Amino acid sequence: MKNIFSKILIKPIFDKTIVKDAIIISIIVGKVLNLVNQGDVLFTFDFEMISPPKLILTYFVPYFVSTYSSVKTKLSFNFEEECEKNHDKS
């Protein structure tokens, strides 16, 4: 059971393409979100007022959303592919 869980769920999470794409998306979306959420502080250079948790979360949330979406899509695609293979064998 552990091996199946690792193969099905954990392996796609660390897929190089998924990780690379999630990092790129988190950088782009994180920058935009930081400007929206803390733009007034960033533009006035009042760095003492920057909220570190907000700063970190605005990059991590897009990373995790992108990773989740990619893994879910990949698992759906693999499931459909397996169903087609099993159907063709019948």
Express each pLDDT in 45-86 by its tens digit: 888 888 889 889 999 999 999 999 999 988 887 766 666 666
Residues near 70 by Cβ (< 8 Å), separated by ≥ 6?
A: 12, 15, 18, 21, 22
If one counts the domains in the chain, the total is 1
State which residues form the domain around 65: 2-89
Residue 37: half-sphere exposure toward Cβ, Cα within 13 Å: 17
| pTM of the full structure | 0.77
Report d(CA 19, CA 30) in Å as an integer. 16
Q: Convert the pLDDT of each residue in 3-45 to its tens digit.
A: 666 667 788 889 999 999 999 999 999 999 999 988 888 888 8
CA distances from 87 to 77, 80, 90 (A): 15, 10, 5
